[in-house]
Amino acid sequence: MDTTAIAINPQTHEIIQISNPLMASWVDPKTNEKHYFYYWRGKISVKNPSESAIEKMKELASRLGAHVLGDEGEPY
């Protein structure tokens, strides 16, 4: 499980790295895009998920007996 996110600032080319044991990455097999799943206070969140990531979130929620909700609380 990848618990470290690495990015490069496009203006300064500085490498930015975040490590968090409560984070996991998942690579979308359709687009090869990496999504980070963050666990905090009983919730798992994903920023700007693709449709495939939302499907993965639904799969995980089903296994956990949980629900997938959007930013406004709308169910998926």
Burial 7-42 (b: 16+ CB within 10 A, else e): eeeeeeeeeeeeeeeebeebebeeeeeebbbeeeee
Q: What proportion of the chain, given as a percentage, has pLDDT over 70?
A: 99
CA distance 39 to 27: 17
Q: Give the pLDDT confidence of 1-32 residue by residue, as tens digits.
A: 678 888 899 999 999 888 888 899 999 888 89
Residues 48-55, mean pLDDT to the nearest whole number:
91
Residues 49-76, mean pLDDT to the nearest whole number:
91
Q: Where are the domains of the chain?
A: 4-64
